Amino acid sequence: MNNKIYVLLVVFFLVGFIYQQYFVPEIKELSGDAVTYDSIAKNLIENGQYSLETDEGPTVRRAPLYPIFLTIIYLLFGYNYYIVQIVQLFLLIVGGYVLTRSIKLLSPHKAIPILGLLLYMTYFPLLYYTSLILTEILFTTLMIIFSYYLIKSIQFENQKDLIKSGLILGLVTLCKPVTLLLPIFIIIVSFFLKNRKFEIKSLLLVALICYLTILPWSIRNFIVTSEFVPITSGSGIEFWMTTDRDMSMGNPWSRVPQHIKERNLSELEMDSALIEEGIKNIINDPIIYFRNMNYNFIRFWTNIRIGNPNSATNSTLVFLTLNLSLIALLIIGVFKNNYFTDSHIILLSIVLYFSLLYTVFGATGRFSIPIIPYLIIFSSYGLYRIFLQMSHNTK
């Protein structure tokens, strides 16, 4: 089986390399979030300061891991976006390999890891995001590695793997702060598991290691701002956007109320002001908030902006088709799985955590990318069951 997986990974890398070389246009100018990551990395190199602009002070707007990742590449190879894309492709291959190891731990059938890898390879958005200067590929790969060590530690009650999973989860959180509350969430879930006594103790250790890993950055933020900021600012705009009547239309920063823009607020002050404004919106019109949460959930899984006619594109259709296919296979995999364990429940709870969080806060389709491998773990078993049934029917 390992030889087949290695061959598939080599094929995947070659396909990705050809895609990068011949189908991805050269990046001449960055836009959106990529500008901020690139700017911080360049300021670290040129000015030794974690800031968005050379004439500004240190920022807490972005989590540190991805800008540091860019900084290392820039120091080694210069300001070369193509090298970033190739490194991200390599990370995607590493993620595919580790994913097969996770599936192997959870399934007795040798064919299922191969099916999982094939699903991973054919989920085109993963390959697409290797070409962008965004956190998705680094974040996704770290999420895969975290889940591997977590599954392994639970299956074999291995404390070393627990420590590794906690450390990796800390790095995940330093890449994107969305997982900041994940340890607490899965600890709550562990109260409902069969082996709850061991799981609770294990997950408490994972949480401890995770939070110790992010502690130095939290201390740095306190020194910079004199306020407790675990990872980043920025939650205000995401929360306010979900309470805004015109949520689906354009850049949310362009719709921030004028009376807030005029106050010339700092990053943290802007966060607080937008949270207060969002709470006022909910009190004044709670129906809009609940409507927008539904829209967030749909956009998270389909990349469709309801109410925005410009969101119906070919790429959205591809994203929608792939995700719905994986979810259908996941449902089959869950209900047909005779080897359902505590590890499966924890993995499903992580999918639920992301779905709930991005329902409450602003969502876009790319935010679901890091949990696609979790869907694939279950979908690969669903696909196996379909093939098994088809083989029985032909006999």
Regarding predicted confidence, which is higher, 303 or 231? Answer: 231
Does position 214 have pLDDT exceeding 80, yes or no?
A: yes
Q: Tell me how far apart the alpha carbons of residues 380 and 53 are, in angstroms, rounded to a whole number.
A: 46
Provide, rounded to the nearest whole percent, the portion of the chain with pLDDT above 70. Answer: 96
- Please, what's the largest Cα pairwise distance for the chain? 74
pLDDT for the residue numbered 1: 62
Cβ pair 267, 224 in contact under 8 A:
no
* Structure tokens given for 78: 């210069």
Tens-digit pLDDT profile for residues 158-193 = 889 999 999 999 999 999 999 999 999 999 999 988
Tens-digit pLDDT profile for residues 263-295 = 888 888 888 888 898 899 899 999 988 988 888
Q: Tell me how far apart the alpha carbons of residues 312 and 365 are, in angstroms, rounded to a whole number.
A: 13
DSSP conformation letters of 125-179 = HHHHHTTSSSSHHHHHHHHHHHHHHHHHHHHHT-HHHHHHHHHHHHHHHHH-GGG
Q: Tell me how far apart the alpha carbons of residues 165 and 207 are, in angstroms, rounded to a whole number.
A: 9
Q: Tell me how far apart the alpha carbons of residues 90 and 95 are, in angstroms, rounded to a whole number.
A: 9
Average pLDDT over residues 222-240: 88
Amino acid letter, residue 72 = I
CA distances from 297 to 107, 235, 240, 291 (A): 30, 17, 16, 10
Q: Which of 303, 315, 294, 297 is nearest to 351 (CA)?
A: 297
Regarding predicted confidence, which is higher, 390 or 372? Answer: 372
pLDDT for the residue numbered 268: 85
pLDDT for the residue numbered 200: 87
pLDDT for the residue numbered 242: 83
Q: Tell me how far apart the alpha carbons of residues 267 and 269 are, in angstroms, rounded to a whole number.
A: 6
Does position 201 have pLDDT exceeding 90, yes or no?
A: no
Does position 255 have pLDDT exceeding 90, yes or no?
A: no
Q: Which of 266, 335, 332, 327 is nearest to 302 (CA)?
A: 327
Does position 361 have pLDDT exceeding 70, yes or no?
A: yes
pLDDT for the residue numbered 395: 62
pLDDT for the residue numbered 271: 85
Tens-digit pLDDT profile for residues 29-86 = 998 899 999 999 999 999 999 998 876 789 998 999 999 999 999 999 999 999 999 9
CA distances from 9 to 20, 89, 370 (A): 16, 11, 19
pLDDT for the residue numbered 258: 81
- What's the mean per-residue pLDDT of the chain? 90
Amino acid letter, residue 82 = Y
Q: Which band of pLDDT confidence, cut at 50, 70 and 90, is reported for residue 249?
A: low
pLDDT for the residue numbered 234: 77
Amino acid letter, residue 302 = T
Tens-digit pLDDT profile for residues 100-143 = 999 999 987 889 999 999 999 999 999 999 999 999 999 999 99
Q: Tell me how far apart the alpha carbons of residues 141 and 94 are, in angstroms, rounded to a whole number.
A: 7
Cβ pair 180, 173 in contact under 8 A:
yes
* Structure tokens given for 172: 């995940």
CA 330 distance to own-chain centroid: 19
* Residue ranges in the chain assigned as alpha helix (H): 2-22, 33-47, 65-77, 81-106, 111-122, 124-129, 136-156, 159-175, 182-190, 196-225, 235-243, 258-261, 267-284, 286-302, 314-335, 342-360, 372-394
Q: Tell me how far apart the alpha carbons of residues 114 and 360 are, in angstroms, rounded to a whole number.
A: 36
pLDDT for the residue numbered 71: 97
Regarding predicted confidence, which is higher, 329 or 338? Answer: 329
* Structure tokens given for 359: 């329902």
Q: Tell me how far apart the alpha carbons of residues 182 and 52 are, in angstroms, rounded to a whole number.
A: 28
pLDDT for the residue numbered 339: 78
All residues at 6 or more sequence positions from 259 whose CB lies less than 8 Å from its CB, including other chains: none
For 255, phi and psi rounded to 5 degrees?
-105, 0
Does position 308 have pLDDT exceeding 70, yes or no?
A: no
SS3 string of 231-292? CCCCHHHHHHHHHCCCCCCCCHHHHCCHHHHCCCCCHHHHHHHHHHHHHHHHHHCHHHHHHH
Q: Which band of pLDDT confidence, cut at 50, 70 and 90, is reported for residue 314?
A: confident
Q: Tell me how far apart the alpha carbons of residues 188 and 374 are, in angstroms, rounded to a whole number.
A: 19
Q: Which band of pLDDT confidence, cut at 50, 70 and 90, is reported for residue 254?
A: confident
Amino acid letter, residue 381 = Y
pLDDT for the residue numbered 309: 53
Tens-digit pLDDT profile for residues 89-101 = 999 999 999 999 9
